[in-house]
Structures are given as C-alpha cells and as structure tokens.
C-alpha cells in the first residue's frame, strides 16, 4: 500500500483539511520543502506558488526563522502561565506597525482570531448581527462559515459551507456584496441598530483578488462609526504580505479590530487579534474582563520566535521590493501571453499575489463578476502545470503567491509552463469532474441537507 492509501485508511479522505483534498492529486505525498520548492514521494520537484494558502512569504524553511525556532525549542518550553519576553517584543512590534492595533492578543490560528473578534464585538455592542461579504473567508467557525465560493444559484442567499450549523446562527449573519457601498448603506439603514460587527477581507483573496474601491472601504468605516458597530479587517492574508502595516496602511482606512495570521510567522501556527485598547480591555486576559479568551498554545515560545525572526527579516531585507517586482512581472507577462494566445483573460492580484481569471475584462469588482470565469480552463491548466513541475492549486478561483525565495528564473519557467499548460487545456478540453470539486461552497451542505 502506498502512503497515500495508508493515509485514507486512518485519516478521513487521507488529508488533514477539507481544503487539501484535491481531485487529480489524491496520490500526492509531500516529503520535503526548501525555498520556493517542494518535493513529493515520487521524487518530483515542484516550484510552489500555492504556498500553503499564503504563510511562507520568505520561502519554505527560511534559515533565520528555522534557527530562531530551534533555539527557542532548546531554551524555552510552554509553561502556560504569565508572559515571556518574546510575547512582549512581538506585541510591541504589532502595535508599532499596524495602524489600528493599540493592544493585541495571540492565538494559534486565523480562525480563532476572527472568532474572538466577533464574540468581542457582540459583547461590547450587545447586538446580534454580523455582516460578511460574498467571497470572503474568515475561518471555519459557524458565524462566518458561509458564502465563500458559492455556486451561481447559491449567491444572494445563505450558502453554508457545512452542515451542522444552527439556522439561528446563520440567520445572525448578513451576507452583502463586496464593493457595493449602496448595499452597505441600505443594510445599515435597515439593521444598523442590530449590527455588532462588519468583518471583511480588505482584499478578498479567497476568491483570487477583488481589489477594493476607496469608496467601499470608506463607506464601511463611515457606516460602522455612525451605527456604533465594530469594523473588523481580516488581514490574515494581506497582513505582512502586502505591507508591514497591513492593507489598512495602504488603504488609509483604520478598522476597530484587525485579525492576523499566515505570513506573520512564515508558516508557524500563529494568529493575532488586535485593535482599540478600549475594546481589547474587555477580554478575560485582564482580571474581570467579561469576554472569555484562552488557548493552551497562545503565545507559544517557538511560534513567537518564528514571528520575531520573520518580522526582523521583513523589516531589514528588501522582501517586499522583491516579491512586488516579481508579482508585477508575472502579471504583466501573463497578460501579454494570453493576448498573444488570443485567450480572454484578466490577470490581477496585488504585490506578491496573482491570479488569471479566464473571462473578458474589466477586472472583477464583486463575486458576481467571477461567475464568468471559465472554471474548466482555470482548473484544467493548473492540473497540467503539475506535469511541468509548477504547483498552483488546481481549485477554482484560488490565488497564487510569490515568496522572497522565488527568482526571475522561476518566473521564466512559470511563464513557459503556463503557455504550454493553457494551450494543452484549450486543445484537449478541461476536466469534466468539476461538479464534484466544489470547495468552500455549499454544494456538500446542500446535498447532505436533501
């Protein structure tokens, strides 16, 4: 039996996340990573643009991060009491770097950070409703587990990603269109007094990249301020990757709370929730604080060491300059490539993030625009890329990432491989199993409910 087959015997589906179950790749077993690469059990080498959904901004096994983590492992274990110097140093830097963050708490994952942000918002406002946007993902917990990548007939109504969520929890989440300021104003006009929080990915990267209009982010700020609702920017992807101060430092819009994760520790499991001190003071980490906050692994010395080493490198080396330059190159040259091939495509993204949608322009603003994407070509060329040693996740609408370890040579090979993979998909047709590959959509929940 292969390792993948053994995995399926003892792990449901053979993988440890519903987002790792990829049709066509069920035999893949990863054995090694380094820089921009990973290798599988068959000895195949891949240039990795999937990058674990985003954490390794410096590249895999960054030597400075690995050394800091190992050193912490040898000198400081988890005691689960009081605080360590590393936690203080990390919190001080987050307060210094991120405009909205006056105080901050550490978690192990992004989902925990968004969970606590919403619970805090409900606690301080005494209100019930949470607003999210179609296409945004904020983790696996019930309040936000809906309307990410929805099938066309599920847009415009609740589309849970899972069964087992209480209907009254789903009812307490309003789903609005991203980049639709009028829709936001209308929701506040109707429900403002009952809206505890608005949570948003300032750039919804869970559907590739929808770039926000200035008016949209400003409207969120204005309406939340007017209604006394808590504005949460979920910067789990955009934080550190797009700027040390997060996308809020680029947009010039300051939320009340910010959630962080992924690139903060280059792949070590660390999340964070920060924001206005008058809000953060409600957490039970302060004696008498009424909003319960806990976690055995919060502020784990090894992950904190990884974050400190990551931030040091992001601050001291031209990481952003490098990944932004390569990102611009990829977007410009992919765009030229598709024009040359006569393939209708929109190449977009931000900084180190890129994605090619196969549809006519202009660049998409809302999830509805993305329904025009040719899913078969999108998934098909990525499956073909695997044969060229290039890994972009073969799931609809998924973004790709460039790290500090990627080089111009990598980009040259990406472009040549993309040309071959797209041409082959156009010639042979895309996969015909896509009806079964819904990810973070409601198809599974729908089926089970029937």
Interacting residues with ligand PLP between 124 and 183 (CB under 6 A): 137-139
15-50 burial, b for 16+ CB within 10 Å, e for fewer? beeeeebbeebeebeeeebebbbbebeeeeebbbbb
Residues 260-279, one symbol each (x = binds ligand PLP by CB under 6 A, - = not), give -x---------x--------
Is residue 358 part of the contact set for ligand PLP (CB under 6 A)? no
The full 3-state SS of 231-265, as one line of letters, equals EEEECCCCECCCECCCHHHHHCCCCCEEEECHHHH
Contacts of 6 (CB under 8 A, 6+ apart): none
Active site residue 49: no
Least Å distance, CB 121 to ligand PLP, is 16
Is residue 237 part of the contact set for ligand PLP (CB under 6 A)? yes
Cα–chain center distance at 277: 26
- Cα(367)–Cα(348) distance, integer angstroms: 14
Contacts of 332 (CB under 8 A, 6+ apart): none
Residue closer to ligand PLP, measured from CB, 245 or 271: 271
Residue number with the smallest Cβ distance to ligand PLP: 110
Is residue 53 part of the contact set for ligand PLP (CB under 6 A)? yes
Place of tokens 């499991």: 269
For residue 378, which phi and psi values (nearest 5 degrees)? -60, -50
Structure tokens at 392: 């972009």
Active site residue 234: yes
Least Å distance, CB 157 to ligand PLP, is 22
Structure tokens at 426: 């156009």
How many residues of this chain bind ligand PLP (CB under 6 A)?
A: 15
DSSP state of 97: H
Residue closer to ligand PLP, measured from CB, 109 or 425: 109
Least Å distance, CB 407 to ligand PLP, is 26
Contact stretch for ligand PLP (CB under 6 A) within 108-116, 275-283, 376-384, 430-438: 108-116
Active site residue 137: yes
Provide the 3-class DSSP secondary structure of residue 199.
strand
Least Å distance, CB 38 to ligand PLP, is 19
- Cα(245)–Cα(101) distance, integer angstroms: 10
The one catalytic residue in 48, 62, 132, 137 is 137
Residues 276-315, one symbol each (x = binds ligand PLP by CB under 6 A, - = not), give ----------------------------------------
Contact stretch for ligand PLP (CB under 6 A) within 104-112, 163-171, 208-216, 303-311: 104-112
C-alpha dist (Å) from residue 400 to 331, 353, 375: 11, 6, 16
The one catalytic residue in 62, 234, 256, 410 is 234
| Sites of contact with ligand PLP (CB under 6 A) | 53, 109-111, 114, 137-139, 201, 206, 234, 236-237, 261, 271
* Active-site residue list: 137, 234, 262
């Amino acid at each position: 039996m292969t390792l993948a087959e053994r995995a399926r015997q003892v792990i449901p589906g053979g993988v440890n996340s519903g987002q790792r179950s990829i049709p066509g790749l069920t035999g893949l077993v990863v054995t090694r990573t380094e820089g921009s690469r990973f290798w599988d059990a068959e000895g195949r080498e891949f240039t990795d643009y999937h990058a674990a959904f985003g954490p390794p901004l410096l590249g895999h096994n960054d030597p400075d991060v690995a050394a800091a983590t190992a050193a912490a492992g040898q000198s400081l274990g988890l005691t689960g009491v009081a605080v360590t110097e590393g936690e203080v140093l990390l919190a001080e830097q987050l307060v210094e770097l991120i405009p909205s963050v006056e105080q901050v708490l550490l978690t192990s994952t992004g989902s925990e950070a968004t969970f606590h942000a919403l619970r805090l918002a409900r606690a301080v406002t005494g209100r019930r409703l949470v607003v999210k946007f179609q296409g945004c993902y904020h983790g696996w917990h019930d309040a936000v587990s809906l309307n990410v990548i929805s099938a066309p007939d599920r847009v415009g109504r609740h589309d849970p990603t899972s069964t087992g969520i209480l209907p009254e929890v789903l009812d307490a989440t309003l789903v609005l269109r991203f980049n639709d300021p009028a829709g936001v104003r209308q929701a506040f006009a109707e429900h403002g007094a009952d809206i505890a929080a608005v949570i948003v990915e300032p750039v919804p990267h869970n559907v590739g990249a929808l770039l926000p209009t200035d008016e949209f982010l400003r409207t969120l700020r204005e309406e939340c301020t007017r209604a006394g609702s808590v504005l949460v920017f979920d910067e789990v992807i955009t934080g550190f990757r797009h700027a040390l101060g997060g996308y809020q430092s680029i947009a010039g819009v300051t939320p009340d709370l910010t959630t962080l994760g992924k690139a903060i520790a280059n792949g070590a499991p660390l999340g964070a929730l920060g924001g206005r001190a008058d809000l953060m003071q409600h957490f039970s980490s302060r004696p008498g604080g009424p909003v319960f906050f806990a976690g055995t692994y919060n502020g784990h010395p090894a992950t904190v060491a990884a974050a400190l080493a990551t931030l040091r490198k992001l601050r001291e080396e031209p990481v952003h300059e490098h990944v932004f330059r390569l990102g611009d190159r990829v977007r410009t040259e992919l765009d030229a490539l598709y024009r040359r091939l006569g393939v209708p495509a929109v190449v977009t993204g931000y900084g180190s993030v890129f994605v090619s949608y196969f549809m006519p322009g202009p660049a998409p603003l809302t999830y509805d625009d993305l329904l025009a994407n040719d899913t078969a070509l999108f998934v098909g060329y990525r499956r073909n890329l695997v044969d060229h040693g290039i890994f972009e996740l073969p799931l609809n609408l998924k973004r790709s990432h460039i790290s500090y370890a990627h080089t111009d040579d990598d980009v040259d090979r990406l472009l040549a491989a993309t040309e071959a993979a797209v041409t082959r998909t156009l010639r042979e047709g895309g996969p015909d199993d896509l009806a079964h590959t819904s990810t973070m959509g409601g198809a599974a929940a729908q089926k089970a409910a029937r």
